[in-house]
Amino acid sequence: MTAGVAAVVAAAVVASRWMRRPDDPDETERRRRSYVSQVGRIVEGHIIELVETAAPAAGAGSRSGAESPPKAGTVAANGRRLVCYSYSISGVSYETAQDVTGLEARVSFDRLVAGQPASVKYDPSNPMNSILLADDWSGLH
């Protein structure tokens, strides 16, 4: 009897994981930013580059096609804004980018330039996990 109940519960767990919708990438990123903002330590870094990507063309199934760059200061619907930055911790240099789409109210892109100093929050248990911006914090000067 107990083995039968355990088998039914195990089957239900497997079925629920198989049938559940995948996590929303924007929600996953919001949770990551929130976590790093809470546990993070601050180190000085530098802005490397600002990248604005256009939305994929309607019906485009692959990302390998050539994309036309958006006009300066605009991002097409579903386009993304990335801020590439670098920082060093204990002699190890890191270069990464953060998708800041949706955080536009927290940053003035007209004032960001390559080489500009910025504060970076990083997860002390995983220094590769870092942010420049969160919903409640900004390292941009």
pLDDT, position 97: 96
- Residues 121 and 137: beta-carbon distance below 8 Å: yes
Q: How far apart are alpha carbons 81 and 50 in whole angstroms?
A: 7
Report strand pairing: 133-134 vs 137-138. antiparallel
CA 104 to chain centroid, in Å, comes to 14
Which tokens is 23 given?
Answer: 């996590």
Residue-wise pLDDT for 23-50, tens only, equals 788 899 999 999 999 999 999 999 999 9
Delimit the domains of the chain by residue range.
Answer: 25-55+73-141
CA 5 to chain centroid, in Å, comes to 41
Top mean-pLDDT range of 5-19, 61-75, 127-141: 127-141
Q: How far apart are alpha carbons 120 and 87 in whole angstroms?
A: 7
pLDDT value at 55 more than 80: no
pLDDT, position 66: 43
